[in-house]
Structure formats: C-alpha cells, structure tokens
C-alpha cells in the first residue's frame, strides 16, 4: 500500500498543478474578455460580443448589469429603455441601439462592424433603476481585446482587409492618372515643338524667297 501511495503522489501532484494552471488561465481569459466595474450597488460588465474582435467582421457591444454581489447578485432587466450606448474610435462617435439579449436576463447587446484596428471605447450613460450612469470602457490589455487585423489571423492565405485593398487601388488609380497627365503634357509639348518647328521652317523659306527676289532685282537695276 505504501508503494502505491508513493507512486500515486506525483500523479496527484501533477493533476493538482494542472487544475490550478487551468483555473489561472481561465481567470486571465475571462478578465481580458470583459471589463468588470462596480458603480454603486451595480456591477457593469462590458466587452465585445465576439472575441477576438477582427477588422471588418460583424461584432458589437456586450453589456451585462447585475445588482448586488456574489451569489446574491440579480440581473437588472428593462435597461434598453433607460440606458444609451455609443462606440468611439479616436474622435469619431457612433450611437448604438441597445436591445436585450435573448435568454440572458440582465444582458444587452448592440451590433456594429469595426473597420479599423486599435482601441475602441464604449460609452454607457443614462439611468439604472433611477441611478445616473455615465461610464466609458476602453479596450486594452487590462480590459477587453482591441480590434485586430484580419491579415494577422488569416490562414492559410494572408487576406488583407478591404480598406487596405481600396487604399492600394486608390494609389494605383492616382498613379495611372498622373501617368495620363504626364503623357498628355508630353504630347502637348511635342505638338508645340512641332508647330514651332513648322513655323520656323516656313519663315526660313520666306526669307530665302525674299533674298532670291532681291538678288534678281538688283542686277536689272545695275544694267539700267
């Protein structure tokens, strides 16, 4: 029995460590997917609907509101009529339409499609059961994930976002337009040079004719 116990102890130790590490990873993942914030007696949880958030992929705001703490916490319903939401990127702001998440009391969502990489801010304001609320939640390493490039997660072929393709197409069009302008300018310069050359040739012929006629007249005058 003692031998069996001695052999099983390392196994139990490995299992215990594995469970502890798995729990730690799950905790970290949960913390990074949403931001939890206590406002008065309420806990507000905010994050993206879909993680990871990817450029030009359908996504949105996920909002949960609970009243109380721990096992006694209760979901707060009916807030789609008393709360408002906005998504902010840099100096750009877009209103969001909150609606209850089906089958999830106290949860609300609002869809949109992020079109740029980086940090986004969700602005939640209004009232919760008469309590004024005005909070901003910004994505980042300590809150919830920022929007990532589609190219970074593409496999097996690297796919560029549509905005980059449009930018490249725009640059190609600009280059083509510049080339056309330069071609037209070169054609105009060539035509001007051709006209100038023709005019010079005509003037030279006229000058030669005038000189020839003068030479014919002068001998006659001398004979007379």
pLDDT for 28-53, tens place per residue?
Answer: 443 447 999 999 999 999 999 999 99
Task: Please give the average per-residue pLDDT across 152-177, as a whole number.
Answer: 66
User: Is 37 or 5 the better-scoring residue by pLDDT?
Assistant: 37
Q: What is the pLDDT of residue 158?
A: 79
- Asked if 62 and 104 count as a contact pair (C-beta separation under 8 A), the reply is no
**How far is Cα 157 from Cα 147, in angstroms, rounded to an integer?**
20
Residue range 31-160 forms a domain whose CATH class is mainly beta
**How far is Cα 216 from Cα 224, in angstroms, rounded to an integer?**
14
Confidence of residue 133 (pLDDT cuts 50, 70, 90): very high
Mean pLDDT of the chain: 80
User: Is 155 or 43 the better-scoring residue by pLDDT?
Assistant: 43
């Amino acid at each position: 029995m003692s031998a069996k116990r001695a052999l099983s102890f390392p196994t139990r130790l490995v299992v215990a460590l594995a469970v502890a590490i798995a729990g730690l990873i799950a905790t970290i993942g949960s913390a990074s997917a949403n931001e939890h914030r206590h406002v008065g007696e309420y806990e507000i949880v905010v994050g993206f609907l879909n993680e990871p958030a990817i450029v030009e992929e359908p996504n949105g705001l996920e909002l949960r509101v609970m009243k109380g703490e721990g096992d006694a916490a209760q979901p707060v319903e009916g807030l789609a009529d008393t709360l408002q939401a906005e998504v902010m990127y840099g100096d750009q702001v877009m209103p969001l339409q909150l609606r209850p998440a089906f089958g999830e009391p106290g949860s609300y969502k609002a869809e949109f499609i992020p079109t740029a990489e980086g940090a986004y801010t969700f602005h939640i304001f209004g009232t919760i059961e008469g309590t004024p609320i005005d909070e901003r939640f910004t994505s980042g390493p300590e809150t919830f994930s920022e929007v990532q490039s589609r190219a970074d997660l593409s496999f097996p072929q690297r796919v560029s976002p549509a905005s980059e393709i449009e930018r490249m197409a725009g640059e190609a069009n600009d280059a083509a337009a510049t080339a056309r302008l330069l071609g037209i300018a070169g054609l105009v310069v060539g035509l001007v040079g051709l006209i100038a050359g023709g005019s010079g040739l005509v003037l030279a012929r006229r000058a030669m004719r005038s000189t020839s006629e003068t030479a014919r007249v002068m001998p006659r005058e001398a004979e007379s």
